[in-house]
Structure 1
């Protein structure tokens, strides 16, 4: 019976992601973000449960990728589609593009869905990613994207709200996220073999700065935390190369 527990948790991730799809399609992006976060939490615990119960297997690995494809692949693409669609009513953008081109601009957001699918498939066959990551993990990428409607709805800082409503910025985010998902950039995993400073200084720095950013900036901090994760990983790689 215990071998099915991680798979049931994974199916919970898939269910949360499927519900998020419905909310995203309906344009209720805050609810979509909520169910994505639930799915990502379940995604963490299915692997944790499999390791604790010692029931890791190929079925769980494949099921996990399928669930992630919905929660961290389909949903962020639809969220970006909706955000670009809303921002595309900007008159300055409409004056640059013809009406036909303007109508199809929101589909650029779905590049993230394609990039996520490629990353998930590649992750399953890439033996280099057992203890770290190559490219941005799909859950981290998804958290960045679903934080955007939360910033719009709950942030009091007008500058940040205007920024993430700008269709040019959203298109740039779509392209950048698609690239980062599959970039050949080694990124550290938050796994601790020990808690010594020498081996984990970059992880402690990241966690400390992340907590400070989240306390001060709240939802606005989420994209900054993901950016910080990439920058500290690059800094670590440069140190290692020296």
Structure 2
């Protein structure tokens, strides 16, 4: 085995491991731990490609493995979190066993609340986006549509805002079922929209060709200091706005 070639793939597998752990926490509504492992997985996701390029061991296997890991960490987990948030917003479980027998002595089964299942459409949209990315040769220096890790950060920020920001107005918005449904629809669209979004890849460190990247990084740091977890949705909107502005110029 070529050890040098395996190093970035091992980092990718750490991403997948973090995503798998996050799934377990998300299913059990432990959103803080789920978010922690998603953030850690995205950290590994950033460095596996960087290592592959630095070590000059990029491969088709690495590309496919990276998408499979992203599918769990940045695709499945956000869908589950939206599912659980919609359960909270409707104050009703998606699947409720009916522990009684009918007059004909037949098991009556389950009572379904279908609304929370809408959150899982983000998982489907993420899978479609990752599959398109793998066969699109244009997305080397920019992205078409919002990358799945960015979308995952957006969705995972919601329970963190609920937990740590302690703002009644914001909490009421986040736990409004219509807000969550609209967010799901917008998320599915922006993941697969044909909008060019810049990638945070620096070919050199000079300011002029990387102006939009430097501006984005500086504003991101300022927003995090000022708004804490509430900064994440604002940062995603800033990313899209700066990309659109950059496309015009």
The two structures have a TM-score, normalised by structure 2, of 0.89
Cα deviation, 1:109-145, whole Å, max 9, x if unaligned, reads 1110000000000000001101110000000000000
Name segments (4+ residues, structure 1) moved above 4 Å.
none
Partner of residue 244, structure 2? 234
Partner of residue 234, structure 2? 224
Q: 1:147 aligns with which of 157, 161, 182?
A: 157
Partner of residue 81, structure 1? 83
Does structure 1 residue 198 correspond to structure 2 residue 198?
no
Q: Aligned-pair distance for 1:191?
A: 1.5
Structure 1: unaligned runs, 5 residues or longer: 91-99
Q: 2:168 aligns with which of 137, 152, 158?
A: 158
Partner of residue 12, structure 2? 10
Q: Aligned-pair distance for 1:101?
A: 11
Q: 2:188 aligns with which of 168, 178, 191?
A: 178
**Matched position secondary structure for 1:184:** coil
Partner of residue 47, structure 1? 49
* Mapped partners of 2:164, 2:112: distance in 1: 28
Partner of residue 94, structure 1? none
RMSD of aligned C-alpha atoms?
1.6
Partner of residue 212, structure 1? 222
Partner of residue 103, structure 1? 113
Cα deviation, 1:8-46, whole Å, max 9, x if unaligned, reads 111111111001011111111111111101110011111
Task: Point out the structure with the larger helix share.
Answer: 1
* Mapped partners of 2:201, 2:48: distance in 1: 16
Task: Work out which of the two has the higher radius of gyration on C-alpha atoms and give 1 or 2.
Answer: 2
Would the alpha carbon gap of residues 193 and 135 (structure 1) be closer, same or farther in structure 2, given more than 3 Å must change?
same
Q: Aligned-pair distance for 1:197?
A: 3.2
Would the alpha carbon gap of residues 102 and 173 (structure 1) be closer, same or farther in structure 2, given more than 3 Å must change?
farther
The total of aligned residue pairs comes to: 230
Q: 1:121 aligns with which of 103, 118, 131?
A: 131
**Matched position secondary structure for 2:156:** helix
**Matched position secondary structure for 2:113:** helix
* Mapped partners of 2:67, 2:240: distance in 1: 23
